[in-house]
Chain A
């Protein structure tokens, strides 16, 4: 898992955070209901926090799986991981997502990922690792709740899971331990990608939710900054 790129991205994202915060300077004369803005901000913050948490969890877990899983350029075949929700998407498609679809995709993805993560029942893992996993699951549950909150604030219905399509981590026939390790690897990888993507999703949403005057303020603020 390439954790180094995540760190350099982290710096860039931090910068993005600062820039995005400029319009939120109190000079903005907002009257009345702040709208879904604060909860979008909160969701964004949560994705950043989870990304940070995942970094250390993934590092520990991959060390537990042992080399070559914890090597930087490791790229095993992606098999059972076909059922994982993919974060990767065409740029134009991503840009053109409407708010409802954007939020729905995020919500569904994390529901699935949370389910798989819970099923990550490595009996052999140390107690400490199990605790870290459980803690991460709780945080991920919090993110789901936060996304649900944003959807509710915007008046969108929560996606209901269709009966019979409950995501279950179905092992293939005679699912070997090594295949399971590869599945675990891709689960963590996909989680990382999703969290990275969600940060961009919620930044985009926040930008959309702001009144147009904010754009001017941003410009002025950027100069001052």
Chain B
């Protein structure tokens, strides 16, 4: 699971209103090399919940010097875009779980795949 994906995921347990962002507990993290496309990253940024990204990167110990707030005019700031690229697309959770911040319910991640299936009593 990449952090770009994580940024879209939310807890959908019945009754939960504040299920985002999911807290990450990772037992296995990989960092891959992914082709850098600055335009792609630049266009992704407005679609992100920025603080959720920073928090997630932090939880994985991969935040490095990603700023708490978006820098202005990031579109042209290649250095910044590279940092974002790394965190969004290169860091990957292979094993662990995603925890609903409200209910505490844990969704396992195994072999890179989060299992977001709910039980009958959670729907």
Q: Do A and B bind each other?
A: no
A interface vs B, CB < 8 Å? none
B interface vs A, CB < 8 Å? none
